[in-house]
Amino acid sequence: MLWDPFDHPEVKVRHFLDFEFIEDGRTIDPISLGIVSEDNREFYAEFPFEPTKANDWVKKNVIPHLQGPPYVKPARMVKDDILRFIGPEKPEFWTYYGSYDWVAFCQIFGRMIDLPKHFPMYIRDIKQMADDLGNPKLPEQGKGEHHALADARWNLQAWRFLQDLKATKAR
């Protein structure tokens, strides 16, 4: 049997994340983070940010979705909340077009080498998985696009869709 890059039996729970952020080509300032676990638990946080740094697209598509207090917390508190949410088992993290999301996630912990020892030092990307499976049309997201938690929910939905497609192709 060939090695399957999508089968990881040592992983206990997969987590699907999405960040909304401001980026200027030099820095990535997080606005909000959503995480949905494969077991359907959910996490949502917002970060203090400077709205004047936001471009027109962020002002139109992201800021209207923000929920404000009690979700707004400094990164150090979000870090503690993430650790409680993820728990001690080895996680696997997935996102869609996730390079910037992963940088923003790692920065919550400091440097990448400051990630908890049981966390991977990389993200898995749903878009790459889709490309490997022939780039099928993914399910429509519907309402809530660019709300971090809604996007994280869609990431799980897209991953499940691709898993089903992979299983069908294997038959």
Is the residue at 85 inside a domain?
yes
Looking at the structure of the chain, the number of domains it has is 1
Sign of the alpha-carbon torsion through 36, 18, 21, 107 = positive
pLDDT digits (tens, 9 = 90+) for 8-19: 556 689 999 999
Mean pLDDT of the chain: 92
Q: Is the pLDDT of residue 71 over 90?
A: yes
Is the residue at 111 inside a domain?
yes
Is the residue at 3 inside a domain?
no
Is the residue at 8 inside a domain?
no
Q: Give the model's pLDDT for residue 5.
A: 45
Any idea what the CATH number is for the domain that residue 118 is in?
3.30.420.10
Is the residue at 4 inside a domain?
no
Domain of 47 in residue numbering reads as 13-170
Q: Which residues pair with 36 in a beta bridge?
A: 16, 42
pLDDT digits (tens, 9 = 90+) for 100-145: 999 999 999 999 899 999 999 999 999 999 999 999 999 999 888 9
Q: Give the model's pLDDT for residue 7.
A: 54
**CB-based contacts of 67, cutoff 8 Å, min separation 6:** 44, 46
Listed residue (118, 126, 127, 117) closest to 156, CA to CA? 126
Q: Is the pLDDT of residue 3 over 70?
A: no
Listed residue (31, 30, 3, 9) closest to 103, CA to CA? 30
Q: Is the pLDDT of residue 41 over 50?
A: yes
- Which H helix or E strand runs over 101? helix 99-108
The band of 171, judged by pLDDT with boundaries at 50, 70 and 90, is confident
Is the residue at 73 inside a domain?
yes
